Amino acid sequence: MIQLGRMQKLKIMKKVEFGVYLAPANASGQDEKVLLPVKQVPEGTDIGSEIEVFVYKDSKDRMISTVRTPKIMLGEVKRLQVIEVGKIGAFLDWGLEKDLLLPFREQTEKVMEHESVLVALYIDKSDRLCATMNVYKYLSTQSPYQKEDRVTGCVYEISHEFGAFVAVDDKYSGLIPKKEFYGNLKIGDQIEARVIAVKEDGKLDLSIREKAYIQIEKDAAKVMEEITQQGGALPFNDKADPELIRETMQMSKNEFKRAVGHLLKTGMILIKENSIELAIKK
């Protein structure tokens, strides 16, 4: 059986002026065949020769093969460049003559020309190869990483319910849980993170923050910077609403309280009824 979207070895069954027709080695005369254009036929091949090819569909929706290896195969997740944006979607460079379509409905955010986007290759309902930015089900759960390992990845989806979904190494399934999700991360961002858990199914839970005893110094510095920018006083203290703290400081209320406590111990701040102020040293 000829497999769309994959490299495979097929046998030359027939030669014509414009190329050769290929089929599986055990195919009968009535089985499906695919054309390999004449300019792609390797020298020295003849009827019965096996050739490794990639099978896709041309601009007229006909099955065709190529000896070129594309930048992405069926079910894989890769980063591809946007060549242009048309009426039905974006077209990506995947190393073949016909560009790969990324339909608008498969975009998790609007893409621009020359942008590099993380996509998976799938077969749509019309039996055509297309790209999708919804890569969740195509990511591997067989990563080599363990708790406390450092990883890099790409944010490919943001959920208000679950957090930020990350493709670690553009390959493995990761998540920054909602409680660990701070700042202004957006789809397409490249991040560095720490593995805080490896789930039973192999998926990775991540954090972009350090362990508490390391992070407290960074958080304290951030609080001091914010106080300084606010003219020497924050208009709220460590009893403020958690959402206000998260929105202003990009940290949880507990993390903010630890940072404020650290600064209080060192005598750098004063906590007032409705504010936090720089301590005035004589």
Domain edges within the chain: 7-66, 77-136, 140-207, 212-278
Tell me how far apart the alpha carbons of residues 49 and 43 are, in angstroms, rounded to a whole number.
Answer: 11
Bridge-based pairing of strands 77-85 and 34-37 is unpaired
Phi first, then psi: what are they for 84, rounded to 5°? -160, 165
- CA neighbor of 141 nearest in space, from 200, 191, 189, 187: 200
pLDDT of the chain along its 282 residues, tens only?
Answer: 899 999 999 999 999 999 999 999 877 656 689 999 999 999 988 999 999 999 999 888 889 999 999 999 999 999 999 999 999 999 999 999 899 999 999 999 999 999 999 999 999 998 999 999 999 999 999 999 999 999 999 999 999 899 999 999 999 999 999 888 877 788 989 999 999 999 999 999 999 886 665 667 777 888 888 888 888 888 998 888 888 888 888 777 777 888 888 788 888 888 888 888 888 654
pLDDT for residue 213: 59
Q: From 258, 186, 160, select the one nearest 215 (Cα to Cα).
A: 258
Question: What would the CATH number be for the domain defined by 140-207?
Answer: 2.40.50.140
Fold (topology level) of 212-278: Arc Repressor Mutant, subunit A (1.10.10)
Q: Phi, psi at residue 272, to the nearest 5°?
A: -100, 180
How is residue 115 annotated by DSSP?
-
Q: How far apart are CA 26 and CA 267, in angstroms?
A: 82
What is the CATH architecture of 7-66? Answer: Beta Barrel (2.40)
- Cα 91 to Cα 28, 67, 171, 237, distances in angstroms: 37, 21, 22, 51
Cα–Cα distance, 119 to 85 (Å, whole number): 15
Element (H, E) at 256: helix 253-265
The identity of residue 73, as a single letter, is: M
Q: Is 149 in contact with 119 (CB distance < 8 Å)?
A: no
Which residues, in sequence order, are CB contacts of 144 under 8 Å at separation 6+? Answer: none
Lookup: tokens for 253: 């209320």
Alpha carbons within 13 angstroms on the beta-carbon side of residue 1 total 3
E strands, the chain, in order: 7-16, 19-23, 34-37, 50-57, 63-66, 77-85, 89-93, 100-103, 116-123, 129-132, 150-159, 163-168, 172-177, 190-198, 204-207, 233-234, 269-271, 276-278
Tokens standing for residue 62: 């006909």
Same topology, domains 7-66 and 77-136? Answer is yes
Domain 77-136 has CATH 2.40.50.140: yes
Q: Closest by alpha carbon to 117, among 169, 74, 170?
A: 170
Which residues, in sequence order, are CB contacts of 122 under 8 Å at separation 6+? 74, 75, 129, 130, 131, 132, 138
User: In which order are the strands placed within the sheet that holds 276-278?
Assistant: 233-234, 276-278, 269-271
- Please count the CA atoms within 13 angstroms of the CA of 264 that sit on its side-chain side: 12
Predicted model pTM: 0.74
